[in-house]
Amino acid sequence: MRLRICLMVCMLALLIAAFATAQQRNVKSLSEAASNNSSDWPMYGRDLAGSHYNPHEKKITPETVARLKPKWIFETMADVSSQPTVVEGVVYFGSWDGKEYALDASTGKKIWEYECVNSSRSGAAYGDGMLFFGDISGWLHAVEAKTGTPKWKVKIDSHRDAVATGSPLYYNGRVYIGTSSHEEGAILKYKDYQCCTFRGSVVAFDAKTGKEVWRHYVIPETPKPQGKNKKGVTIIGPAGGAVWSTIALHPEANRIYVSTGNQYTGPASKFPNAIIALELSTGKMVWSNQTTPNDIWTFDCRNDPDCSDLDFDFGTIPITFKGPGGKRLVGAGQKSGWFYALDLKDGKLVWKTEVGPGGKLGGIEFGSATDGEMVYAAISNFPRQGSVSALDGATGKILWQTPSPDKGSNFGPITVTGTGDNRLVFAGSNRNFIRAYDAKDGKILWEFDTGGAVGGGPTVVDGTLYVGSGYTFLRIGKTNNKLYAFSIDGK
């Protein structure tokens, strides 16, 4: 009898374990299905790893791309620089007019608009029937995807200068986002401002309630007075390390990969201008690799004796790709113009490549993508000529580099589509153009003048290219108010 009861208990335990495992697999499979559906682009980088790659695109190829024509054009009241999210035939995007929009992907007809009050410049994340997006005042919004009905909104950071420049990501009932700020320029707004108190962070929120689950600060120390600057104003620090970029989630490894910005005030920390690995479940740091130490910079740089005058933030998602011997690497592009590739396990440097000139608005700003083997990087070099390049993922060798023919800056995100010889790279220019490059040699196969600077990322799904036009922030380029949908022969 005891043996039978023991066997029954063991069988029950095995069934419970099997059910739990199946549930976990189901959660993962649902996430994979969302990112692998050729008709969907459910988040900023298309997948949780932020690849900006759609291998399923078959209609737009090097042979057909020259036939791309506008299918429809939707006008807002201000610039459009957010990367469109496309799910189940609906396009979601934000505008600098302070609204988030939902459009019919086939016709461009408006389904709903939601008043954010503040400009929405980053992409939205779709998950479990909800849409999540941030705004320029640091609010994270959650609305019903079908109707635009608001469910909750929360400040991603209590600091008055906090902003949401990176896009949120949804996974398994949580929303993850990095925090950044405009405190670097506070001296321009507030006389004798005591800089600085903001610290960048990564935050996990409960997707149903907006309640904070955990927060990881880039700089662990709480800022405190550090002495006086050259004008006699108190310096507060350490501060900075904003997370301008969108983060990357790797649930199968329980990892988040984060790239961070420069420090505002000292003493110098080890974590700004770094690529960092965190535990997905807790936010605890696993490893960190700082590529540019002691980069302390604000708009009041000349008055800070510790100022580096570099401002070499990371603005790109840490993307993963195949390295030497098939080893998986994680890498990100920096405003210094360098791309760094690290070992996934310990964060040690495997290779680094200077892709182009760096600068405060130069180097690699937001433009990087990968097809799993090659890395594609866009150089801003603002206000001079930028470029788009392909790098070998195993070695970092530049395989091709195509300067922008309009002498403009390649400032924004870029996208890769297709497989093999059918791969294309899409990149925008601050001189108004959106272009398609042949991924094997960098030859420009198609271009279109949108009428305004292209600062947002191109989204390509199911034979349609969606891209916004207009980006005047930081005087990058010309204003416009349009979202374009391009298809073969405009059909």
Last residue in a domain, options 295, 315, 335: 315
CATH of the domain at 358: 2.40.128.630
Indicate the pTM of the whole model: 0.92
**Rounded Cα gap, residues 114 and 437, in angstroms:** 35
In this structure, the answer to whether residues 324 and 223 fall within a common structural domain is: no
In this structure, the answer to whether residues 261 and 368 fall within a common structural domain is: no
- Report, as an integer, the average pLDDT of 124-133: 98
Mean pLDDT (the chain) is: 93
In this structure, the answer to whether residues 272 and 368 fall within a common structural domain is: no
Asked whether residue 1 is domain-assigned, the answer is no
Percent of the chain with pLDDT over 90: 89
Residue 145: band (very low, low, confident or very high) from pLDDT cuts 50, 70, 90: very high
Residue 120: band (very low, low, confident or very high) from pLDDT cuts 50, 70, 90: confident
Amino acid at 124: A
- Report, as an integer, the average pLDDT of 247-265: 98
Asked whether residue 39 is domain-assigned, the answer is no
In this structure, the answer to whether residues 275 and 418 fall within a common structural domain is: no
Asked whether residue 221 is domain-assigned, the answer is yes
- pLDDT tens column, 415-470: 999 999 999 999 999 999 999 999 999 999 999 999 999 999 999 999 999 999 99
Asked whether residue 453 is domain-assigned, the answer is yes
Of 313, 351, 124, nearest in space to 218 by CA: 313
* Beta-carbon contacts of residue 163 (< 8 Å; ≥ 6 apart): 136, 137, 138, 180, 181, 182
- pLDDT tens column, 354-377: 999 999 999 999 999 999 999 999
In this structure, the answer to whether residues 129 and 256 fall within a common structural domain is: yes
Does the pLDDT at position 13 exceed 80?
A: no
Residue 37: band (very low, low, confident or very high) from pLDDT cuts 50, 70, 90: low
End-to-end Cα separation, the chain, in angstroms: 73
pLDDT of residue 49: 98
Does the pLDDT at position 20 exceed 80?
A: no
Does the pLDDT at position 260 exceed 50?
A: yes
Which residue segment(s) compose the domain that 106 sits in?
84-315
Residue 7: band (very low, low, confident or very high) from pLDDT cuts 50, 70, 90: very low
In this structure, the answer to whether residues 95 and 58 fall within a common structural domain is: no
Asked whether residue 66 is domain-assigned, the answer is yes
CATH of the domain at 177: 2.140.10.10
Last residue in a domain, options 315, 332, 362: 315
In this structure, the answer to whether residues 233 and 291 fall within a common structural domain is: yes
Last residue in a domain, options 288, 315, 342: 315
In this structure, the answer to whether residues 277 and 419 fall within a common structural domain is: no
Asked whether residue 156 is domain-assigned, the answer is yes
Run of H or E including 2:
helix 2-36
Of 334, 376, 340, 341, nearest in space to 357 by CA: 334
Does the pLDDT at position 36 exceed 70?
A: no
Does the pLDDT at position 288 exceed 50?
A: yes
In this structure, the answer to whether residues 350 and 393 fall within a common structural domain is: yes
Asked whether residue 34 is domain-assigned, the answer is no
Asked whether residue 11 is domain-assigned, the answer is no
Q: Supply the DSSP string of 25-71, one letter for each residue.
A: HHHHHHHHHHHH-TT-B-STTSSTT---EETT--SS-TTTGGGEEEE
**Rounded Cα gap, residues 155 and 136, in angstroms:** 11
Longest dimension (CA), the chain: 86
In this structure, the answer to whether residues 208 and 173 fall within a common structural domain is: yes
